[in-house]
Amino acid sequence: MKKYGIFGGTFDPPHIAHLIHAELVRNKMRLDKIIFVPSGNPPLKRKSSVLESNHRYNMAKLCFSSNKNFVVDDIELKNTYQKTYTIDTLKKLNTKYKNQNVIFYFIIGTDNFIELPKWKDTYEIFSMCKVIVINRPPYKFEDGPDEFKRKVIRVKVPNLDISSTVIRKMVKKGQSIKYLVTERVEKYIIQNNLYKIY
């Protein structure tokens, strides 16, 4: 059986913590590849607060393509007018890879783990894949739903104080984001004047 990790997120923008954490999980869990899925229209976020999907997809490709074990899938970006739910994405991925004898490992942070009861068809998610939870301060695993704590696999990763939110604020203030994102992503942000960079 092949073991594929699924790493979803807005990637607004993708940064080095995404790269480091994904590679660590891939190694520790001996995954064959990591599939990065930029979110389409996340139900728990305001659509107006998320950058256009084409820019997020382009940045994800620029960021993750340097690793031969990483791929970016635009499966959630086909229709951003409707809310995109994890369960629907998993069904589509299962259909897409049905002939490849794959086990999926869905990777989430402790912030998402805490929110799991709010997700659509949460129990069905566990029937379609294994769920990996990585630490993401200041959120604590202990604050997550008791009903799912024994169903997940916990993988410890470095507590890197890097977030897309902070990076966007830094760009807006005209501060350098060098080494927080890859050089190619930094150039893309500057060239496309994203996040109100001047």
Domains of the chain, by residue range, sit at: 2-160
Average of per-residue pLDDT values in the chain = 93
Say which range, 2-6, 46-50, 71-75, has the weakest mean pLDDT.
Answer: 46-50
Rounded Cα gap, residues 103 and 97, in angstroms? 10
Please state, for a pLDDT cut of 70, what percent of the chain lies above it.
93
Q: For residue 198, what pLDDT band results from cuts at 50, 70 and 90?
A: very low
Mean pLDDT, range 109-128, rounded to an integer:
96
Q: Give the CATH superfamily of 2-160.
A: HUPs (3.40.50.620)
Residue 74 has a pLDDT of 95
Reference 151, options 188, 124, 178, 185; nearest CA is 124
What's the whole-model pTM score?
0.93
> Residues 41-57: pLDDT tens digits?
766 666 557 899 999 99
Mapping DSSP to helix (H, G, I), strand (E, B) and coil, where does residue 183 land? helix
Rounded Cα gap, residues 9 and 29, in angstroms? 20
Sheet order of strands, 70-72 included: 70-72, 33-38, 2-9, 102-109, 130-134, 152-155
